[in-house]
């Protein structure tokens, strides 16, 4: 490992973790198909490096004095190192770990969550400008960043009460995913509703969480308005604001044992998206700690 994320202790073997509820970070620097512009596979190492520009201390949170232990397991290749991901889930079960995963494109969510153990009280929530519910994307490709939640639903026989999309508002030209949302094949709170009736949306999230004991959260950075993350390959207007995202995270994170952050793309001269995701990671750690 070249460097670790600020405040995280680098480890080579999972047996080095002994403390319950530790946060285990790892990267999946992987893009399943060639997209223009690509670059999300560079994000795990770039985020680690960029984190060193920060102190990890804010008015609400001091990473250095945190009660939790933070470990960085480096990067994993989701095709060649499937076994490693399996071992991480085993360790997570034994010690109640909290996983923080850095993608990669959105297809990595399938690599991690298809190896998790699911029951009726387990659910996945994805915060995303897009639904990622295509059957094929692009045509002829069944496993990509555009089909993640179709595949998770199918392969784990998930019901709509186990799947919640928050913040969707832009859909692919293959209109099947739009129909799936219309037919309520998954639970869904579209972006515009937050601005029409925010409290109703917050209550919908609380209701969804009520009978769940374990949440897997997948956070696509393009759920944020492009003003905050201008270098993404699929940047969208009329998206989430950072503080609205934090309010949503405060509801979800207490039950989330897994968070991934995907599709972080940046330019050499424009580090806004990287800085945003570094600060988002501090926020996630802060909410987990509180």
Q: At closest approach, how far in Å is the CB of 234 from Mn ion?
A: 8
Helix (H, G, I), strand (E, B) or coil at 258: strand
User: Which CB, 220 or 225, lies closer to Mn ion?
Assistant: 220
User: Which CB, 129 or 256, lies closer to Mn ion?
Assistant: 129
* 282 CA to centre of own chain: 14
User: Which CB, 22 or 144, lies closer to Mn ion?
Assistant: 144
Asked if 169 interacts with Mn ion (CB under 5 A), we say no
Distance, in Å, from the CA atom of 246 to the CA atom of 285, rounded to the nearest integer, reads 12
- Which span sits near Mn ion by CB under 5 A: 68-76, 89-97, 214-222, 269-277? 214-222
Distance, in Å, from the CA atom of 154 to the CA atom of 188, rounded to the nearest integer, reads 18
Edge to edge, the sheet with strand 122-127 lists 9-10, 70-75, 23-28, 98-103, 256-262, 214-220, 122-127, 163-166, 187-189
Burial class for 184, CB neighbours closer than 10 Å (0-12, 13-18, 19+) = exposed
Asked if 177 interacts with Mn ion (CB under 5 A), we say no
Asked if 132 interacts with Mn ion (CB under 5 A), we say yes
Asked if 283 interacts with Mn ion (CB under 5 A), we say no
How many C-beta atoms lie closer than 10 Å to residue 19's C-beta?
A: 13
Residue from 228, 239, 288, 230 nearest 259 by CA: 288
The upper half-sphere exposure of residue 58, i.e. CA atoms within 13 Å in the direction of its Cβ, equals 12
Q: At closest approach, how far in Å is the CB of 185 from Mn ion?
A: 17
Q: At closest approach, how far in Å is the CB of 263 from Mn ion?
A: 6
Burial class for 48, CB neighbours closer than 10 Å (0-12, 13-18, 19+) = buried
- Say how many residues touch Mn ion, by CB under 5 A: 4
Beta bridge partners of 258: 99, 216
User: Which CB, 72 or 105, lies closer to Mn ion?
Assistant: 105
Site for Mn ion in 101-120 (CB under 5 A): 106
Asked if 236 interacts with Mn ion (CB under 5 A), we say no
Q: At closest approach, how far in Å is the CB of 175 from Mn ion?
A: 17
Q: At closest approach, how far in Å is the CB of 145 from Mn ion?
A: 6
User: Which CB, 63 or 165, lies closer to Mn ion?
Assistant: 165
Helix (H, G, I), strand (E, B) or coil at 267: strand
User: Which CB, 111 or 132, lies closer to Mn ion?
Assistant: 132
The token pair at 66 is: 């945190």
Q: Which of 220, 236, 260, 286 binds Mn ion (CB under 5 A)?
A: 220
User: Which CB, 107 or 257, lies closer to Mn ion?
Assistant: 107
Q: At closest approach, how far in Å is the CB of 72 from Mn ion?
A: 24
- Which span sits near Mn ion by CB under 5 A: 81-89, 115-123, 176-184, 212-220? 212-220
* 252 CA to centre of own chain: 12
Asked if 128 interacts with Mn ion (CB under 5 A), we say yes
Q: Which residues bind Mn ion (CB under 5 A)?
A: 106, 128, 132, 220
């Amino acid at each position: 490992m070249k460097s670790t994320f600020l405040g995280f202790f680098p480890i080579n073997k999972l047996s080095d973790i002994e403390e319950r509820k530790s946060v285990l970070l790892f990267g999946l620097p992987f893009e399943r198909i060639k997209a223009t512009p690509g670059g999300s596979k560079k994000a795990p190492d770039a985020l680690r490096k960029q984190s060193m520009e920060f102190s990890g201390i804010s008015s609400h949170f001091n990473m250095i004095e945190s009660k939790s232990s933070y470990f960085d397991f480096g990067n994993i290749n989701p095709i060649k190192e499937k076994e490693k991901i399996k071992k991480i889930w085993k360790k997570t079960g034994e010690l109640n770990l909290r996983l923080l995963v850095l993608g990669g494109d959105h297809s990595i969510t399938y690599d991690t969550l298809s190896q998790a153990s699911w029951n009726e009280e387990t659910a996945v929530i994805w915060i995303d400008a897009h639904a990622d519910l295509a059957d094929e994307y692009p045509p002829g490709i069944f496993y990509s960043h555009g089909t993640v939640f179709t595949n998770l639903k199918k392969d784990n026989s998930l019901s709509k009460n186990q799947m919640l999309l928050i913040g969707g508002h832009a859909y692919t030209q293959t209109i099947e995913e739009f129909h799936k949302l219309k037919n309520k094949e998954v639970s869904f709170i579209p972006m515009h509703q937050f601005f029409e009736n925010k409290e109703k949306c917050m209550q919908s999230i609380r209701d969804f969480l009520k009978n769940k004991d374990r949440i897997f959260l997948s956070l696509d950075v393009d759920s944020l308005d492009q003003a905050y993350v201008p270098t993404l390959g699929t940047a969208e207007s009329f998206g989430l604001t950072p503080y609205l995202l934090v309010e949503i995270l405060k509801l979800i994170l207490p039950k989330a044992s897994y968070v991934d952050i995907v599709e972080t793309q940046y330019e050499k001269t424009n580090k806004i998206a990287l800085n945003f995701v570094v600060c988002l990671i501090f926020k996630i750690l802060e909410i987990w700690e509180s």
